[in-house]
């Protein structure tokens, strides 16, 4: 983890309101793991006051160029400023931060993405492919235009779901997961789940996993101030259990966590 | 030659007047790769309570216009955990380590002060009688001069470490509380802690913070913090440590001019971890521009036009008066 | 059909809950080409004092992060000037005219209330016991429940107009002052007036405002204003008018949800004169989304999770309790 | 005076840190007088909170195009945002506001400009030229690059001064005024002064005028909130005299005022 100054290599709108920004980072920026995030200062001004956390969509090392990519939606002031940053602009970021996905050997990773939550899972799928590990990628979104990155998903089995049925299965990616689980005869000893998406979806998936004793890691989101475990502003509420008396900090004990112990109903 | 920026707060000599505020960088380690602690005066630790605290339910933070609300609820490992896990870190720090403590009653304050004093790792103790996030206790001590007196009287005999009483701004007359602390042996006061605030999610029709109320910090409160500082420096003779909304390096100079002997940098560090170092730079520049090149001549040097004459604030005024008298 | 947004504050019925705050648009005429007064609930005039006031020396305003400081010093034509020059304007207003008054002592408050009552041009009187910019007088009344009582007791018998006591947030417990006003016959309280603040020009080493201290307003204070409102609505049964930092239309809904019966729009109007009208629009939308489509069901409807249950704030909670009881 | 929405026709840096922005205004925007100003919202955000007052450099009516021009320096946050506004952006403004210059018939107007204070005087000089009135234009600046608009000054006699002597007289425009006054044998009955520039300069010029009984109008600057006389945030301190008990509002009783009654030392 380091504070580094980076410059915008490119920043473009890939679909309505969704941007892909590529930032050149210096050598001192450590090689990130899928699921890790960067804490980005979107501009130089006092306002917006805080950095914004973003999962990495990818990391490139090509000759002298070392770059990270972030796939983001414009939802408020910070992301609005970020969307306006043009090629060549200097921004600074702290990263890579947090704990990423930790696939276990000899299990089939089932990646379940909801909407823009696809970003860290794309990163993960590329790593799996580099290591020639087969995987399953289930991707649900509102409509086909929101299915960012599908063409990049190679080396794995891909199933799509859209709410409007414009492509793939018409319905929730949760249905895809249920079908995949029974259809492919996965068991908690042969497969595990990695997921990212809206909290409602993650909640449902973690219920699914807990009921069946499946290992399930989810990438969480929530407001952050410091991003490095100092301020204790990003507590993750846990379900009753051995650890439930404390609040792990999402930024250092996450953002990827065992989904089955998170108390989703109390997460902002 | 660079001017010396050394300032003294009772027995505590600081390399320069820039500290990091409590609750911002934990106990130093969390930020070790982001801040060069050798360049700043010191840090104030996250407040330590007698018993470990898990803190408040989420959400605990919320951004507001030029500010943020927090309701952390003093999540900390408790005195025992502090002594075991954090004291070794503090010993290694290349700057002053000021330990912040808060008790739920006078007895707890005493135990905490004894414990921290005994650890040998603290250069000073910041007595947090001002946190708005721990129910009625903190607020009771913070808003009542009598209670502040009780705490200070009880802990003063227990340590020779400098005691800095940290005050809440959520009171009608902060100077009264500051004077009470001074009377009862505080070596300094620091201010401000956060202002009580609230945020609402109109669409969800719910308060945003899990605790409804939280504490407001950041640039939004800088004008309020300066006013509380100004009120306080005119009322007490002990050094005053100023904070609240410092976000640009020059802001630190504003606090010194208004009468602060040192400043604490808080919220804005989350965006810019280099801010404390940058503040040192700005102070250095301001001091170098003084005829005397003495940092003390910056402190309280605000020129306040009144009628035709010009008065100087707080200690600077008294120093000046002393000079004229002698 | 558009839902009715009518709200009542004692005898005063407002077309909708959006007012313009005192000191923002003078007596209505200054902004007549910029605001459509037919679309809003009413305006509060610039505060009128017994004698004309020239106001404070410049500079009187200063921008701060998401806020501004002012030290106008209640520049106004005095009661006589008000009656002669401003009453004719107020009579022509197509919305409620609430006249703000402030006295230096109880006697002046009485003369002012009598004068305004006699003018026949006021729909209500806002009793400004909260201005931080006129030396010790305003502050004395504003920070002391006993003084607030004295003023309210003295003026209450002099008029049948609704009396709205405007409170300062610069106190430890605003609810105490609000209760004192309620006890002594105030029909409503409004809050907040500005927070005491200060700004410094570090390069010139001078305070920026001519009076050193001023009052902070604007979005920076919204979280603080909401917290003071929340504290107050839980303490009194009379309607509370909320304000402080309203800058986006949805902000007005936040104040109503927190328990305000009406809101006043202030500083942010300088940038966006259409803001009060936009606030009406946002409230209309929020009301239309309610099952009942009644504006009263928005007021205090904040859902506060507590333990497992959900409580409702202030009057809404009491209304609910009443329903259950009956 | 009206609140109007306008769009940026052009915005370019004419010299280091100094911009000329042209804003198309609708029909409802009244024909402005030289010395009047507009109260501009530099962006849509909450921050900066207040509008910024700017004197008009000019006004154009050509067919359907109705536009105002502002000549401004980047000195802080608001002007920084304004400098970044590109062609086509919508901004809103209130105007025209305040009282402009009021030249009297049969007197020689002597226009004295300091630095960017030239803006409203350029506007005035164009009006004088339209009315075929002769005038004198004295223009001082730090250096020749700061002498914005000199080529436009026609129909009048022009004298330049620069601090660095890079063009014209080396020294203050105040010296030019003294020379002009004695050299051309003006008297208070034959000439009058219109000036705009840094307060220090205006102070000196008003002393010059008061000592000689010359009519002198200056365009003032200072912080403003409402811009329309409502908030009383822009008081002009006056010298002891019949009016000294009150504070005229700069925005409605100015910004152009009788310079000889202003207490410059107390003006921010
Ligand atoms: C570990 C992590 C990874 C993330 N990865 C991505 C990503 O890859 N792509 C993406 O589009 N978004 C991602 N987010 C969410 C993203 O951080 C927020 O959408 C963003 O901060 C909103 O900022 P804003 O200023 O546009 O919105 P505003 O609503 O104006 O933000 C106001 C405040 O609320 C906080 N906030 C609001 N919503 C969220 C949220 N959902 N999560 C965290 N903070 C929030 C902001 O940080 C800010 O402090 C991630 C969040 C976390 C914690
Ligand atoms: C009637 C009038 C006409 C003006 N005409 C011009 C012009 O033609 N060209 C030009 O470049 N400038 C002009 N100014 C000055 C211009 O308004 C300020 O330079 C500008 O507001 C500074 O804004 P900022 O955000 O960049 O600076 P900041 O310093 O960030 O502004 C902070 C606050 O201080 C106020 N402020 C700071 N300096 C001044 C100042 N000198 N005058 C007024 N308010 C100030 C701002 O309005 C704002 O509220 C004029 C001012 C007035 C009152
Ligand atoms: C996230 C957070 C946690 C804080 N925790 C503490 C704390 O434990 N003890 C304390 O005395 N102050 C605490 N504070 C208050 C700060 O030390 C400081 O007084 C306040 O934030 C004002 O300064 P600022 O505006 O520069 O942040 C905390 C502030 C923040 C933002
Ligand atoms: C320039 C200015 C002048 C004001 N004058 C008065 C006044 O005369 N009387 C009064 O009761 N409040 C006055 N106020 C306070 C406002 O009415 C309001 O209480 C305060 O500004 C908070 O609201 P806001 O943040 O929306 O501006 C003034 C505020 C400003 C900014
Ligand atoms: S954001 Fe500070 S601890 Fe996680
Ligand atoms: S700026 Fe409001 S009165 Fe002039």
* Domain CATH number, residue B224: 3.20.20.70
Nearest to D245 by CA among D225, D261, D222: D261
Which numbered atom of ligand 5 lies nearest the CA of A225? 1
| Together in a domain, D68 and D122 | no
Does the pLDDT value for residue B308 go beyond 60? no
| Together in a domain, D226 and D126 | yes
What pLDDT is stored for residue C143 in this prediction? Answer: 78
Joined together, the tokens standing for residue D145 give: 């690059």
What pLDDT is stored for residue B134 in this prediction? Answer: 44
Share of chain B above pLDDT 90, in %: 84
What pLDDT is stored for residue A44 in this prediction? Answer: 85
Which residue spans within chain D are E strands per DSSP? 2-15, 18-24, 37-41, 52-55, 58-62, 65-73, 90-97, 108-114, 136-141, 157-162, 169-170, 191-196, 216-219, 256-258
| Together in a domain, D79 and D156 | no
In whole angstroms, what is the distance from residue B98 CA to residue B42 CA?
A: 7
Q: How confident is the model at residue A245 (pLDDT cuts 50, 70, 90)?
A: confident
| Together in a domain, A147 and A68 | no
Cβ neighbours around B302 below 10 Å, total = 30
In whole angstroms, what is the distance from residue D159 CA to residue D136 CA?
A: 8
In terms of DSSP bridges, do strands D108-114 and D191-196 run parallel, antiparallel, or are they unpaired? parallel
| Together in a domain, D130 and D70 | no
Contact C129, C167 (CB under 8 A): yes
Does the pLDDT value for residue C324 go beyond 90? no
**Mean pLDDT (whole number) for C171-185:** 95
| Together in a domain, D26 and D63 | yes
What pLDDT is stored for residue C322 in this prediction? Answer: 45
Does the pLDDT value for residue B325 go beyond 50? no
Q: Ligand 4: which of D50, D228, D231, D251 to mutate, most ligand atoms within 8 Å of CB? A: D231
Question: Is residue C43 in some structural domain?
Answer: yes
In whole angstroms, what is the distance from residue C84 CA to residue C99 CA?
A: 14
SS3 of C90-155: the string is HHHCCCEEEEEECCCCHHHHHHHHHHHHHHCCCCEEEEECCCCCCCHHHHHHHHCHHHHHHHHHHH
**Residues D1, C272: C-beta atoms closer than 8 Å:** no
| Together in a domain, A127 and A58 | no
Instruction: State if residue C190 touches ligand 4 by the CB under 6 angstroms criterion.
Output: no
| Together in a domain, D82 and D152 | no
Match 């500079």 to its residue by tokens: C59
- Give me the catalytic one of C62, C95, C110, C131: C131
Contacts 24+ apart (CB under 8 A), A44-48: A45/D47, A45/D77, A46/B66, A46/B219, A46/B247, A46/B248, A46/B268, A46/C65, A46/D47, A47/A77, A47/B65, A47/B66, A47/B219, A47/C65, A47/C66, A47/D45, A47/D46, A47/D47, A48/A77, A48/A78, A48/A81, A48/B63
Does the pLDDT value for residue C117 go beyond 90? yes
Whether the complex's predicted ipTM is more than 0.90 is answered with yes
What pLDDT is stored for residue C325 in this prediction? Answer: 37
In whole angstroms, what is the distance from residue B60 CA to residue A32 CA?
A: 28
Q: How confident is the model at residue C131 (pLDDT cuts 50, 70, 90)?
A: low
What pLDDT is stored for residue C30 in this prediction? Answer: 86
Element (H, E) at A77: helix A77-83
Joined together, the tokens standing for residue C256 give: 């109503």
What pLDDT is stored for residue D71 in this prediction? Answer: 98
| Together in a domain, D93 and D115 | no
CA of B245, nearest ligand number = 3
In whole angstroms, what is the distance from residue B9 CA to residue D152 CA?
A: 63
Please, what is the average pLDDT of chain B? Answer: 91
Least confident of A178-187, B135-144, B293-302, D24-33: B135-144
Which phi and psi (to 5°) does residue B279 adopt?
Answer: -65, -40
Domain carrying residue B168: 7-325
Supply the residue whose CA is at minimum distance from atom 1 of ligand 3: A231
| Together in a domain, D58 and D180 | no
Count of structural domains within chain D: 2
Give chain A's length. 268
Contact C212, C234 (CB under 8 A): no
Which phi and psi (to 5°) does residue D260 adopt?
Answer: -80, -10
Query: CA C213 from chain center: how many Å?
Result: 21
pLDDT in tens, C226-270: 999 999 999 999 999 999 999 999 999 999 999 999 999 999 999
Contact D70, D55 (CB under 8 A): yes
Q: How confident is the model at residue D243 (pLDDT cuts 50, 70, 90)?
A: confident
Element (H, E) at B191: strand B188-191
Q: Chain B contacts of D47, Cβ < 8 Å?
A: 65-66
Question: Would an 8 Å CB–CB cutoff place C202 in contact with chain B?
Answer: yes
The CATH number assigned to the domain holding A261 equals 3.40.50.80
Does the pLDDT value for residue B320 go beyond 80? no
Does the pLDDT value for residue C25 go beyond 90? yes
What pLDDT is stored for residue C74 in this prediction? Answer: 95
CA distance B324 to chain C (A): 22
Contact A140, A172 (CB under 8 A): yes
In whole angstroms, what is the distance from residue C25 CA to residue D225 CA?
A: 11
Joined together, the tokens standing for residue C21 give: 């705050």
Joined together, the tokens standing for residue B326 give: 């002698």
In whole angstroms, what is the distance from residue D129 CA to residue D176 CA?
A: 22
Question: Is residue B1 in some structural domain?
Answer: no
In whole angstroms, what is the distance from residue C119 CA to residue D98 CA?
A: 32
In whole angstroms, what is the distance from residue A205 CA to residue A213 CA?
A: 12
Question: Is residue D135 in some structural domain?
Answer: yes
Q: How confident is the model at residue C132 (pLDDT cuts 50, 70, 90)?
A: low
CA of A81, nearest ligand number = 1
Please give the residue of chain C at the shortest CA–CA distance from A45. Answer: C65
Please give the residue of chain C at the shortest CA–CA distance from B209. Answer: C304
What pLDDT is stored for residue D268 in this prediction? Answer: 82
Question: Is residue C1 in some structural domain?
Answer: no
Count of structural domains within chain B: 1
CA distance A201 to chain B (A): 19
In whole angstroms, what is the distance from residue B100 CA to residue B27 CA?
A: 10
Query: CA B16 from chain center: how many Å?
Result: 15
Round the CA-based radius of gyration of chain C to a whole number and report it.
Answer: 19
- Chosen domain end from D39, D71, D97: D97
| Together in a domain, D261 and D146 | yes
Question: What ranges in chain C are assigned the alpha helix state H?
Answer: 78-81, 87-92, 106-119, 136-143, 145-155, 174-183, 222-233, 249-258, 268-271, 275-288, 314-325
DSSP A96-152: EESB---PPTTSEEEEEEEGGGHHHHHHHHHHHHHTT---EEEEEESSGGG-TTGGG
Please give the residue of chain C at the shortest CA–CA distance from B297. Answer: C205
- Chosen domain end from A71, A97, A123: A97
What pLDDT is stored for residue B10 in this prediction? Answer: 85
Under DSSP, is residue B43 helix (H, G, I), strand (E, B) or coil?
strand
Domain carrying residue A51: 3-97
- Give me the catalytic one of B62, B131, B184, B279: B131
What pLDDT is stored for residue B311 in this prediction? Answer: 43
Question: Is residue B254 in some structural domain?
Answer: yes
The Cα diameter of chain A in Å comes to 54
| Sequence-ordered list of residues with C-beta below 8 angstroms from that of A165, at least 6 positions apart, any chain | A171
Residue C86 carries which DSSP code? Answer: I
In terms of DSSP bridges, do strands B200-201 and A58-62 run parallel, antiparallel, or are they unpaired? unpaired
In whole angstroms, what is the distance from residue A5 CA to residue A27 CA?
A: 11
| Together in a domain, D29 and D48 | yes
Cβ neighbours around D203 below 10 Å, total = 17
Active site residue C131: yes
Question: What ranges in chain B are assigned the alpha helix state H?
Answer: 78-81, 87-92, 106-119, 136-143, 145-155, 174-183, 222-233, 249-258, 268-271, 275-288, 314-325
What pLDDT is stored for residue C323 in this prediction? Answer: 41
pLDDT in tens, A49-97: 999 999 999 999 988 889 999 999 999 999 999 999 999 999 999 999 9
Least confident of C42-56, C237-251, C301-315: C301-315
Cβ neighbours around C169 below 10 Å, total = 28
Asked if the peptide bond before residue B192 counts as cis, ω within 30 degrees of 0, the response is: yes
In angstroms, the Cα distances linking B1 to B4, B284, B286, B287 are 9, 11, 14, 12
Question: Is residue A102 in some structural domain?
Answer: no
């Amino acid at each position: 983890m380091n504070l580094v100054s980076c410059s915008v290599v490119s920043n473009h709108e890939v679909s309505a309101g969704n941007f892909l920004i590529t930032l050149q980072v210096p050598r001192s920026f450590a090689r990130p793991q899928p699921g890790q995030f960067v804490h980005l200062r979107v501009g130089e001004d006092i306002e917006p006051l805080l950095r914004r956390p973003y999962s990495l969509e990818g990391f490139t090392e090509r000759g002298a160029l070392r770059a990270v990519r972030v796939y983001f939606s414009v939802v408020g002031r910070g992301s609005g400023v970020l969307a306006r940053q043009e090629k060549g602009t200097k921004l600074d970021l702290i990263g890579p931060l947090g704990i990423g996905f930790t696939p276990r050997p000899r299990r089939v990773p089932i990646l379940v993405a909801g909407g823009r939550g696809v970003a860290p899972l794309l990163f993960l799928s590329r790593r799996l492919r580099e290591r020639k590990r087969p995987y399953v990628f289930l991707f649900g979104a509102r409509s086909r235009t929101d299915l960012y990155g599908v063409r990049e998903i190679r080396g794995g089995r891909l199933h799509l779901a859209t709410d409007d049925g414009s492509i793939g299965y018409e319905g929730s990616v949760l249905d895809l997961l249920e079908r995949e689980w029974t259809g492919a005869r996965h068991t908690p000893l042969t497969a595990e789940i990695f997921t990212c998406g809206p909290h409602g979806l993650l909640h449902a998936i973690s219920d699914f996993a807990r009921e069946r004793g499946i290992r399930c890691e989810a990438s969480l989101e929530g407001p952050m101030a410091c991003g490095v475990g100092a301020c204790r502003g990003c507590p993750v509420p846990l379900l009753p259990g051995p650890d439930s008396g404390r609040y792990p900090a999402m930024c250092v004990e996450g953002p990827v966590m065992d989904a089955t112990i998170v108390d989703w109903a109390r997460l902002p | 030659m660079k001017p010396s920026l050394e300032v003294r707060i009772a027995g505590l000599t600081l390399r320069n007047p820039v500290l990091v505020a409590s609750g911002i960088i934990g106990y130093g380690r969390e930020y070790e790769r982001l801040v060069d602690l050798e360049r700043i005066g010191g840090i104030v630790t996250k407040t330590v309570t007698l018993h470990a605290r898990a803190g408040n339910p989420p959400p605990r933070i919320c951004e507001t216009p030029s500010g943020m609300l927090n309701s952390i609820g003093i999540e900390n490992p408790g005195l025992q955990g502090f002594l075991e896990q954090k004291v070794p870190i503090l010993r290694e720090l290349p700057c002053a380590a000021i330990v912040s403590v808060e008790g739920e009653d006078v007895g707890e304050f005493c135990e905490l002060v004894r414990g921290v004093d005994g650890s040998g790792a603290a250069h000073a103790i910041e007595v947090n009688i001002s946190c708005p996030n721990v129910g009625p206790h903190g607020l009771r001590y913070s808003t009542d001069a009598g209670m502040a007196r009780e705490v200070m009287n009880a802990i003063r005999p227990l340590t020779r470490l400098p005691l800095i009483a940290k005050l809440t701004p959520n009171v009608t007359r902060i100077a009264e509380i500051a004077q009470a602390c001074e009377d009862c042996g505080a070596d300094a006061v620091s201010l401000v802690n956060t202002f009580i605030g609230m945020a609402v999610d109109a669409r969800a029709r719910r308060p945003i913070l899990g605790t409804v109320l939280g504490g407001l910090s950041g640039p939004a409160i800088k004008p309020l913090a300066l006013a509380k500082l100004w009120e306080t420096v005119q009322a007490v003779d002990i050094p005053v440590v100023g904070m609240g909304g410092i976000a640009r390096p020059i802001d630190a100079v504003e606090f010194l001019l208004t009468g602060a002997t040192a400043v604490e940098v808080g919220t804005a560090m989350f965006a810019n971890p280099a801010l404390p170092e940058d503040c040192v730079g700005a102070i250095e520049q301001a001091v170098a521009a003084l005829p005397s090149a003495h940092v003390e001549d910056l402190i309280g040097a605000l020129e306040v036009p009144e009628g035709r004459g010009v008065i100087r604030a707080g200690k600077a005024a008294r120093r000046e008066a002393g000079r004229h008298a002698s």
